[in-house]
Amino acid sequence: MSERINVPDIFGSLVFNDEVMRKRLPKDTYEQLNKHIEERKPLTFEIAQEVATVMKSWAVEKGATHFTHWFQPMTGITAEKHDSFIKPVGEGKIIMNFSGNELIHSEPDASSFPSGGLRATFEARGYTAWDPTSYAFIKDNTLCIPSIFCSYGGQVLDKKTPLLRSLQALNKQAMRVLNALGNPYGATSVNAYVGGEQEYFLIDRDLYNEREDLRLTGRTLFGANPPKGQEMEDHYFGTIKPRVKEFMNDLDIELWKLGIYANTEHNEVAPAQHELAPIFCDVNTATDQNQLTMEIMKIVAIRHNLACLIHEKPFAGVNGSGKHNNWSISTNNGVNILDPGKDPAENKIFLLFLAAVVKATDEYQDLIRASVASPTNDLRLGGNEAPPAIVSLYLGEELTGIVDAIVSGEHFEGVEKKVMKSGVKVIPRFDKDTSDRNRTSPFAFTGNKFELRMVGSSASLSTPNVVLNTIVAEELSLFADKLEKMVDTDGAMNKLIEDSFKEHNRIIFNGNNYSDEWAREAEKRGLSNLKTTADAMSAYLDDKNVELFEKHKIYNREELEARYEITLENYCKSLHIEAVTMLEMAKKDITPAVCEYMGTLANTVATKKSVDKSLSCKLESSLLEKLSKNSDKLYETSMKLAEDVVKAEDFTDITKKADFYRDTISSDMEELRRCADILESNTAKDYWPFPTYTDLLYSVV
Ligand code: ADP
Ligand code: MG
C-alpha cells in the first residue's frame, strides 16, 4: 500500500499536454498549433491530421485502445461514446488508426440528450467538436478528447460552448479597457482563472447499498436526527481517519496522473464530510478537471468499499456540500488584475475592475442566483450553513474603507498592517491580513480573487462562470465605450469608479449573511431573494438578461428559453423521482417494519395479560398508540403525495408544473418524512429496515 510514489514522474502522465506535444509534434506543427490557440483562430485540417497521428501513437503506447469525444451535455455530467482505433486492412488484420477528421469532430446519435426543444427528435443530428484549449487525456484505456456539443443548426447543447464564448467576451472587453488606458501591463490577452473547492461525504458502501434513497436520489429522504450531529464542532480540520486517508492518497494519485492539481484535503464541518481543493488554473481547464474529479472520486471510493456523496444535502440536520468558485482575471503575462497590491487606494486599474464586479453583481444578482439554481442546491442555500439565496458582496474592512471614502469624497486613511501577536515569545511574529474572513457571504473578495460560495457541490463549474465572465464583460464594455472617447482617461476612470460605487453600494454587505436581520435589511435595499429554482430561473427570460447574452454572443433567446425549460424540467423530474422513491420506501420498507413491530408489542401485551390480567402494559400500550397514530398519518400523507404526483403529470406548462412541485409536492414530502422519522425514533433498531443516521455518519473509521 505504502509504496513510494514519485509525484513529479506520475503527474500528468496520462495527459497529452504541452510537454508531450513539444517533444512529439514536428516543430513547425507545434508552433502553428500554439499560434492558432493563442490567436483563437480555427485550426487547419493539415495540423489536425498531424496532431491526430501523434496523439494516437502516444495514446496507444499508454495502452489506449479506444477514443472518445468527451463532452458536457446539459445533464450536467460528462458524456462519452467510445470508438476503437481499429481499422481493417484485409486478410482479417487491423491497424490502429485515428484520423484528423475523427479528432476534429464526431456525430453522436444525440437525440436522447436534453435540448429543451432546440432539436426535435426527428432532427437527431448533433456534433461534438474538439476543444484544443483543454488537453486530451487517457481514462480507462480510452483517449478522451475534450469537446463542445452543438446541434445541426449550430445551437449550443452543452456547458462548454457558452463558457468558451464567455471567455472570448471577457478577453475582448477587458483588453478594450486596458488598451484605452494605454495597456500599462503590456498584455495581449486576458483570461479568467478558477480554483474550485469541492466538498463531499464518504460513507460505507454496504450501508449505502441498503438505502434506496441514497442509491436513486443521492440523498437520504428519511432519517431521524442522530444523538450526535455536528454540534461539538469536532470534525472540521479534525484528524483524518485511516480509511479516509487511504482513499485520499489513492484519489490524489489518480488525479495527479490526469494532471489535476489536487492540493488541499481536510475534514469539513459535518461528520463524514470532507473537502478537496485543487490549485487554480484557467476556467476552461478547471471546469473540465472538476468534472473529472467528481467522477474519479466516486470510482476511487468504490475501490475502498466507500460511497462518495456529491449531493448538496445528503443528510438533513447537518451541513450540506458546496463548491467554492474562486475566480480571478489575469493577463497573459501573469498580472492578476484583481490583486489590489500594496496600495489599493492608488491602484486605479484594480479599482476600475473592482467597480465592474460590484456593478455587475448588483445589476445581475438575479442571474448569479439563477446560475447556481438546482433542486439539490435549494436544500442547502439559506439553511444557516450556506449563504442565503440573497446575492451580496463582501469586500472586507480595507476595501470597504476605500469604497466608502470614494463614495463620500473623503480621503482614505489606509488600514495599517498589524502584527500578529500570539502571546508566546518563541512563536515568530507575522503581519496579519488587512481584514478578517467572512464565511457567511455568498460572494466574497478574498485577497486577490472573488469566491462565489453559492455553487452546489454536484454542479458543473461552467454555468456560474459563464455568468460571472459575461456580466463583468458587459460592465467593462460600457466602461470601454466611455474611456475610448475620452482624452483625459484618468479623469474618466475616476468618474467611472466613483459612479459605480455610489450607485451600487447596496450590494456590499460585510455582516452576518445567515441572520434574519440581513434578510429584512436586504429587502429594504431592494435586493432579490429567490428561494428556489422555480423562482430563480425566470431570470433567463428577462429582457435585460436576454439582451446581455445576445450582445456578447453567449446565448440567443432561443438557447436561453431552452436552458430555462431544461432546468425546470430537471427540477420537476428530480422531485418526481424523490417523491416516488419515498412512496416506495414508505410502502415496502417502513410500513411492513412498523407493522411487524406493532405486532410484537401487541403480542407482548396479549401474552402478559394472559399470564396475569393485572400486569401493567403502560410502555407497550403507549408505544403502540404512538406508532399506530403515526402509521395512520404515514398512510394518509402517502396517499396525498401519491395523488399529487399524479396531478403534477397533468401540467403542460413547465412553469406551472415547477410551481406545483415547489408548493405542493415538496410540502407533502416534508410531511411524509416527519411521520416516518417519528416512527423511526419509536421502532426497535432490529426492526428498522435501513441504516440510521448514526450508522451512516459514523460508519467510516
Ligand atoms: P480557503 O478558501 O479554503 O481558505 P484559499 O483561499 O487559500 O482557501 O484558496 C482556495 C482556492 O482558491 C484554491 O483552490 C486556490 O488555488 C484558489 N485560488 C488562489 N488564488 C487564486 C486566484 N488568484 N484565482 C483563482 N483561484 C485562486
Ligand atoms: Mg473557500
Q: What distance lies between CA 687 and its chain's CA centroid? A: 38
Rg of the chain (C-alpha set): 28
Q: How far is CA 541 from CA 109, 553, 562, in A?
A: 30, 16, 10
Calpha distance 300→305 (Å, rounded): 9
| Block residue for cell numbers 462518495 | 308
Number of the ligand 1 atom closest to the C-alpha atom of 197: 14
* Mean of pLDDT values over 520-541: 95
**What pLDDT, on a 0 to 100 scale, did the predictor assign at position 426?**
66
Q: Decide if 334 contacts 450 (C-beta within 8 A).
A: no
Centroid of ligand 1 to alpha carbon of 53 (angstroms): 38
Q: Which amino acid is at 483?
A: L
Centroid of ligand 1 to alpha carbon of 326 (angstroms): 6
| Residue of minimum CA distance from atom 24 in ligand 1 | 328
Q: Using 50, 70 and 90 to split pLDDT, how confident is the model at 234? A: confident
Centroid of ligand 2 to alpha carbon of 449 (angstroms): 11
Q: What distance lies between CA 413 and its chain's CA centroid? A: 39
**What pLDDT, on a 0 to 100 scale, did the predictor assign at position 84?**
94
| Residue of minimum CA distance from atom 14 in ligand 1 | 195
pLDDT reading at 152 higher than 90: no
DSSP 541: G
| Block residue for cell numbers 467576451 | 169
**What pLDDT, on a 0 to 100 scale, did the predictor assign at position 264?**
86
**What pLDDT, on a 0 to 100 scale, did the predictor assign at position 572?**
96
Which residue, 267, 224, 319, is CA-closest to 514? 319
Between strands 66-70 and 142-151, the pairing is parallel
* Mean of pLDDT values over 334-338: 97
Three-state DSSP class for residue 504? helix
* Mean of pLDDT values over 148-172: 93
C-alpha cell of 487?
Answer: 482624452
Q: Decide if 138 contacts 14 (C-beta within 8 A).
A: yes
**What pLDDT, on a 0 to 100 scale, did the predictor assign at position 431?**
66
Calpha distance 677→693 (Å, rounded): 11
In 573-701, DSSP assigns E strands to none
Percent of the chain with pLDDT over 70: 95
Average pLDDT over the chain, rounded to an integer: 92
Q: How far is CA 357 from CA 57, 329, 392, 461, 625, in A?
A: 46, 11, 11, 19, 60
Kindly identify the ligand whose nearest atom is closest to the C-alpha of 337: 1
Residues composing the chain? 701
Kindly identify the ligand whose nearest atom is closest to the C-alpha of 265: 1
Q: Using 50, 70 and 90 to split pLDDT, how confident is the model at 49? A: very high
**What pLDDT, on a 0 to 100 scale, did the predictor assign at position 269?**
83
**What pLDDT, on a 0 to 100 scale, did the predictor assign at position 126?**
84
User: How many CB atoms within 10 Å of residue 225?
Assistant: 16
C-alpha cell of 17?
Answer: 499536454
Q: Decide if 455 contacts 446 (C-beta within 8 A).
A: no
Q: Using 50, 70 and 90 to split pLDDT, how confident is the model at 123? A: low
Calpha distance 495→490 (Å, rounded): 9
Q: Using 50, 70 and 90 to split pLDDT, how confident is the model at 428? A: low
Q: What distance lies between CA 563 and its chain's CA centroid? A: 17
Centroid of ligand 2 to alpha carbon of 197 (angstroms): 6
* Mean of pLDDT values over 470-498: 95
Q: Which residues surround ligand 2, an ion (CB under 5 A)?
A: 324
Concatenated DSSP letters of 311-355: -S-SSTTS---BEEEEEEEEETTS-BTT---S-GGG-HHHHHHHH
Number of the ligand 1 atom closest to the C-alpha atom of 280: 16
Q: Using 50, 70 and 90 to split pLDDT, how confident is the model at 31? A: very high
Number of the ligand 1 atom closest to the C-alpha atom of 279: 16
Q: Using 50, 70 and 90 to split pLDDT, how confident is the model at 384? A: confident
CB half-sphere exposure, 124, CA atoms < 13 A:
7
* Mean of pLDDT values over 189-195: 97
Q: How far is CA 91 from CA 84, 88, 95, 97, 674, in A?
A: 19, 8, 12, 17, 69
* Mean of pLDDT values over 586-590: 97
Q: Decide if 269 contacts 230 (C-beta within 8 A).
A: yes
Best residue among 236, 266, 279, 280 to mutate for probing ligand 1's pocket (most ligand atoms within 8 Å of CB) is: 280
* Mean of pLDDT values over 406-411: 82
Best residue among 449, 452, 461 to mutate for probing ligand 1's pocket (most ligand atoms within 8 Å of CB) is: 449
Task: Identify the residue with better confidence: 382 or 275.
Answer: 275
Centroid of ligand 1 to alpha carbon of 323 (angstroms): 12
**What pLDDT, on a 0 to 100 scale, did the predictor assign at position 436?**
65
Task: Identify the residue with better confidence: 106 or 194.
Answer: 194
Centroid of ligand 1 to alpha carbon of 126 (angstroms): 37
Kindly identify the ligand whose nearest atom is closest to the C-alpha of 450: 1
Kindly identify the ligand whose nearest atom is closest to the C-alpha of 453: 2
- Provide residues with CB under 6 Å of ligand 1: 193-195, 197, 277-280, 326-328, 336, 446, 448-449
Please state whether 283 falls in left (phi above 0), alpha (psi between -120 and 50) or beta.
alpha
Centroid of ligand 1 to alpha carbon of 222 (angstroms): 36
**What pLDDT, on a 0 to 100 scale, did the predictor assign at position 430?**
63
The model's pLDDT over 86-99, given as tens digits with 9 standing for 90+, comes to 999 999 999 999 99
The model's pLDDT over 623-643, given as tens digits with 9 standing for 90+, comes to 999 999 999 999 999 999 999
pLDDT reading at 413 higher than 70: no
**What pLDDT, on a 0 to 100 scale, did the predictor assign at position 2?**
55
List helix spans (H) across 364-442: 365-371, 375-378, 396-408
Task: Identify the residue with better confidence: 453 or 430.
Answer: 453
Percent of the chain with pLDDT over 90: 80
pLDDT reading at 120 higher than 70: no
Number of the ligand 1 atom closest to the C-alpha atom of 277: 14
pLDDT reading at 1 higher than 60: no
pLDDT reading at 566 higher than 60: yes
Q: Decide if 386 contacts 322 (C-beta within 8 A).
A: yes
Looking at beta carbons, which pairs linking 525-529 to residues 24 or more positions away fall under 8 Å?
527/365, 527/390, 527/391, 527/392, 528/365, 528/366, 528/369, 528/390, 528/391, 529/388, 529/389, 529/390
Calpha distance 693→182 (Å, rounded): 61
Weakest mean pLDDT among 44-48, 152-156, 303-307: 152-156
**What pLDDT, on a 0 to 100 scale, did the predictor assign at position 106?**
87
Centroid of ligand 1 to alpha carbon of 561 (angstroms): 34
Calpha distance 188→75 (Å, rounded): 36
pTM above 0.75, yes or no: yes
Centroid of ligand 2 to alpha carbon of 451 (angstroms): 7
Q: What distance lies between CA 599 and its chain's CA centroid? A: 47
Number of the ligand 1 atom closest to the C-alpha atom of 446: 6
Calpha distance 169→473 (Å, rounded): 6
**What pLDDT, on a 0 to 100 scale, did the predictor assign at position 637?**
98
